[in-house]
Structure 1
Amino acid sequence: MKSTGGIFKLDQHDTTVKKEVSAGVVGFFTIVYIVAVNALILSESGMPFEGAVIATIAVSALGCILMAFIGNAPIILVPGMGINAMFTYTLVNAMGFTWQEALAIVTVSGLLFIIVAFTKLSDVLNTAIPQILKDAITVGLGFFLLMIGLEKGSLITQGDNALLAIGHFNEPEALATIITLLVALILFVKNVPGHFLWTILTGTILSFVFSIVPENASNQTLTADSIVWFQMSFDSWIEIPFWIGVFSLTMVLVFENIGLVHGHVSFIKKPEKYEGALRANAISAFSSGLIGSSPTVSTVESTAAMAAGGRTGLTALTTGVLFIVSAAFIPYMGYIPDHAIAPILIIIGILMIQQMRHMKLDDFTESVPAILLIVMIPFTYSIADGIAIGFIMYPFLKFMTGRWREVSMPLLIISILFLLYFIIHFIPFL
């Protein structure tokens, strides 16, 4: 106990081993749903489901352990919602990369994130990009997750006379989603501990009640073909789309984590932990590509552990160890159906959309790029394209209205790169 207290400086944080471990347990049961959710989303990229489960557990455990010893903060690192959707639906489904090439993009993005976190670039980028565009990225990701959740839950479908249409609520999948969503909302509003875990259990039970067979129910055996660690492919590294993917993912990683880490260290009134926590975050994101997952982020759910009294890295270490223990339940992960995951995507999407309340939309030169960025992410089914459109429109409108001094040089360079990407790939005669 003394050595643990010395490593994590428990006395200086006015906490105890019991309090820290208890907070870590609370954090684990608040976030453990990510194992099933992330694996199901990654599997839609073509990645083996059982391999995705193992990778999710591995990167979550490693991320928490890195945070414990590098950041000494009660911050939980797991694959981020929104970024995992970007991995599957943008990099693979929209941009045409294989999941192995997408892992290479994650690895390079993680390396760039490390450079940013260990230098003054984090401050440079954070001040160079307008806050309204950073907020718009979060809101756009929220709408994207909301749409994916509605689609996975069979609540919306492809329309005959429109892009989307209401789903057939008399089908077992849609009915099971509605019931699970209602349960999820009640649990969430009442702030029941482990609400998303209970949501998954409810949806899984309903699959037996309605005789719904999950797609991954047969994926219970780990074979050599299931291994996803060190499967990165750099075959496309010389092509421009590869670097557009890297650039887009890096921006989401950097801006989202800067905001989250700052919020977490402010919550526990330890701003001096910011630098170490961000560096732990960056190393963890880099390792995600090596292990075979979308990047890890500092989760919002970390506040549950902090509210339970977590103040040091011992909280994160406890959560990391419990992720390792959760590997014992891998054989049962394939029985979790889409309608058990859909309500979680819907609720998280709505929470991210609420970031819109902080956006100042009275300035037309800023509101138009932000709104276009938001709507184009779900409409194009591409986070990269949505970000690109917003970042191109912002300096364009500023220059057209004679307010070019409001455009920073880093933002201008980013915008020009995005514009070149569109010119090369979307103009037929080039």
Structure 2
Amino acid sequence: MEKALEKFFHLEERGTNVRTELIAGATTFVTAAYILAVNPSILSETGMPQGAVFTATVLISFIGTLLMAALTNYPFILCPGMGINAYFTYTVCLSMGYSWQTALTAIFVEGIIFVILSLTNVREAIFNAIPMNLKLAITSGVGLFITIIGLKGSGLVVPSPSTLVTIFSVHSSIANGTFATAGITAILALVGIIVTAILVCRNVRGNILLGILITWSLGIVCQFAGLYVPNPDAGFMSLLPDFSHGIAIPSIEPIAFKLDFSNIASVGFLSVVLAFLFTNLFDTIGTLIGSASKADLLDEKGKLPNVRGALLAESLATTFAGLIGTSSTATAVECTAGIAQGGRTGLTGVTCAILFLLSLFLSPIFLAIPSFATSPALVVVGFMMFGAVTKIEWGTPTEAIPAFIAIVAMPFMYSIAEGISLGIISYVAINATTGADNRKKISAVMWVLFALFCVKYFFI
């Protein structure tokens, strides 16, 4: 068995072995398993059944990760992207008013386009054409966007008529009688952020998932103590897993193959597809670069061999995601945890994929995890992604200013797509007008993207 694995995954060639790969795969799963709780929580706000989304999330993580292992032999995993699911819910469905069926159709169409582009040199060309500083800025901006989503979901950040947003007031919750729901959950979320941060600082394996479980456990203690009182009408559910129906796997029938093509000819639908397309592209590219660098998989020119295989795996997984009922996949940054444990081949991914599939039988547990327990994970993942900001060339204004615009636009405009659009527009505009040397830095692909985004803002 070990010889067969060695032959298929080329373990010795990558300086690893079966035991190391299995441990790395388990570490990646433990680190990324919070996605199984967070993704259903976010997408359910569109009206999608949370149980069905959980099953779809597990299945697409299993399928996508196996595809990545088969097509690349890299230790990367594919899961629903934590930025793209927020865009799916809060921008496309809640802000723009599209149904989740239409949003899934956009994901499916995006996936088909991605597959076509991945079979050509287009996506590789984009991968190589986008300036590194802008790639880093996109990663950092998505980190901030995820952070504000987490703070909002935790209840720590609330709307304010005078300052747009403000911090939750415990005193006011006591006065108006909501401390047993909104008040205690906000406090628990803050405790969860601190606990998760401590675990990260102490390099505890599976720190994010452990932070979720600790925060959730504290909530259960509060429920037993009467400090937390479930109020389903106000959105505060019981924190105890419901095993009354056994360990039956929630059906994906309510959301699978529910595509709605009625808006496919509209300009608005096209803009959503493009937004998904570019957001997903840059999210995947950024993670691939960072993860491959950490695993020493980049060649001497800084390129990733067989990047086409990685992009094709992500494209196929995104297409399947739209069909079975979840947001598009992306290479998860959490795979770096397994890489840090020595994972270097697709055996890491296969191990993680199998563990994803086994988690189907634990759905009552994952579905009982509340948003105040998963919000700290979003904040900490946001922190991890924001770390890319330190690699930006801040001493070069023509690089730094577009990067800054892309970063701040995402949280302040509450849209990943706007940050990407404005970052590209500002990069081309600034460098095109500040000398011949700077103009030479602008590739033909960047000019095309600049034109497309200008058309979007000024004519659509």
Normalised to the residue count of structure 2, the TM-score between the two structures is 0.84
> Counterpart of 2:259?
232
* Equivalenced residues, count: 425
Question: Is contact 1:265-1:274 (8 Å) kept?
Answer: no
Q: 1:281 to 1:167 in 2, by over 3 A?
A: same
Query: What CA distance in whole angstroms lies between the structure 2 residues aligned with 1:309 and 1:424?
Result: 50
Query: What CA distance in whole angstroms lies between the structure 2 residues aligned with 1:135 and 1:263?
Result: 10
Question: Is contact 1:15-1:311 (8 Å) kept?
Answer: yes
Query: What CA distance in whole angstroms lies between the structure 2 residues aligned with 1:347 and 1:223?
Result: 29
Offset from partner CA, 1:143-169 (integer Å, 9 cap, x none): 211111111111111113111111113
Query: What CA distance in whole angstroms lies between the structure 2 residues aligned with 1:337 and 1:122?
Result: 38
Q: Is 1:408 aligned to residue 435 of structure 2?
A: no
1:273, CA displacement in angstroms?
4.9
Q: How does 1:87-236 map to 2 (within 5 A)?
A: 87-170=88-171, 171-208=183-220, 209=222, 210-213=227-230, 215=235, 217=237, 227-236=254-263
- 1:190 partner amino acid: R
> In terms of mean alpha carbon deviation, does 272-281 or 238-247 score higher?
272-281
1:26, CA displacement in angstroms?
1.8
Q: How does 1:342-421 map to 2 (within 5 A)?
A: 342-401=375-434, 404-421=439-456
- 1:146 partner amino acid: T
Question: Is contact 2:73-2:347 (8 Å) kept?
Answer: yes
Aligned equivalent of 1:258, options 285, 296, 321: 285
Q: How does 1:63-74 map to 2 (within 5 A)?
A: 63-74=64-75
Query: What CA distance in whole angstroms lies between the structure 2 residues aligned with 1:256 and 1:359?
Result: 17
Q: 1:387 to 1:9 in 2, by over 3 A?
A: closer
User: What runs of 5+ residues in structure 1 fail to find an aligned partner?
Assistant: 426-430
1:340, CA displacement in angstroms?
0.3
Q: 1:16 to 1:360 in 2, by over 3 A?
A: closer
- 2:192 partner amino acid: T
1:223, CA displacement in angstroms?
7.5
1:410, CA displacement in angstroms?
2.5
Secondary structure, counterpart of 1:355 in structure 2: helix
Query: What CA distance in whole angstroms lies between the structure 1 residues aligned with 2:236 and 2:253?
Result: 13
Q: 1:372 to 1:306 in 2, by over 3 A?
A: closer
> Counterpart of 2:180?
none
> Counterpart of 2:457?
422
Q: 1:268 to 1:347 in 2, by over 3 A?
A: closer
Query: What CA distance in whole angstroms lies between the structure 2 residues aligned with 1:330 and 1:419?
Result: 45
Query: What CA distance in whole angstroms lies between the structure 2 residues aligned with 1:362 and 1:14?
Result: 38
> In terms of mean alpha carbon deviation, does 124-133 or 60-69 score higher?
124-133
Query: What CA distance in whole angstroms lies between the structure 2 residues aligned with 1:240 and 1:110?
Result: 18
1:424, CA displacement in angstroms?
4.1
Query: What CA distance in whole angstroms lies between the structure 2 residues aligned with 1:320 and 1:304?
Result: 15
- 1:7 partner amino acid: F
Aligned equivalent of 1:243, options 270, 278, 298: 270
> Counterpart of 2:58?
57
User: What runs of 5+ residues in structure 2 fail to find an aligned partner?
Assistant: 172-182, 299-304
- 1:182 partner amino acid: I
> In terms of mean alpha carbon deviation, does 281-290 or 210-219 score higher?
210-219
1:362, CA displacement in angstroms?
4.1
Question: Is contact 1:203-1:340 (8 Å) kept?
Answer: yes
- 2:196 partner amino acid: A
Query: What CA distance in whole angstroms lies between the structure 2 residues aligned with 1:264 and 1:329?
Result: 29
Offset from partner CA, 1:342-375 (integer Å, 9 cap, x none): 1111111122222222222444444443333322
Q: 1:247 to 1:156 in 2, by over 3 A?
A: same
Question: Is contact 1:113-1:253 (8 Å) kept?
Answer: no
Secondary structure, counterpart of 1:157 in structure 2: strand
Q: How does 1:6-85 map to 2 (within 5 A)?
A: 6-85=7-86
Q: 1:362 to 1:223 in 2, by over 3 A?
A: closer
1:408, CA displacement in angstroms?
3.0
Question: Is contact 1:90-1:384 (8 Å) kept?
Answer: no
> Counterpart of 2:175?
none
> Counterpart of 1:283?
316
Normalised to the residue count of structure 1, the TM-score between the two structures is 0.90
> In terms of mean alpha carbon deviation, does 176-185 or 197-206 score higher?
197-206
- 1:323 partner amino acid: F
Query: What CA distance in whole angstroms lies between the structure 2 residues aligned with 1:106 and 1:121?
Result: 19
Q: 1:265 to 1:225 in 2, by over 3 A?
A: closer
Question: Is contact 1:104-1:289 (8 Å) kept?
Answer: yes
Q: For the aligned residues, what is the CA RMSD?
A: 2.6
1:419, CA displacement in angstroms?
2.4
- 2:228 partner amino acid: S
Query: What CA distance in whole angstroms lies between the structure 1 residues aligned with 2:342 and 2:457?
Result: 49
- 2:197 partner amino acid: L
Q: 1:10 to 1:387 in 2, by over 3 A?
A: closer
Query: What CA distance in whole angstroms lies between the structure 2 residues aligned with 1:16 and 1:130?
Result: 36
> Counterpart of 2:351?
318
1:46, CA displacement in angstroms?
2.2
Secondary structure, counterpart of 1:137 in structure 2: helix
- 1:420 partner amino acid: V
Secondary structure, counterpart of 1:67 in structure 2: helix
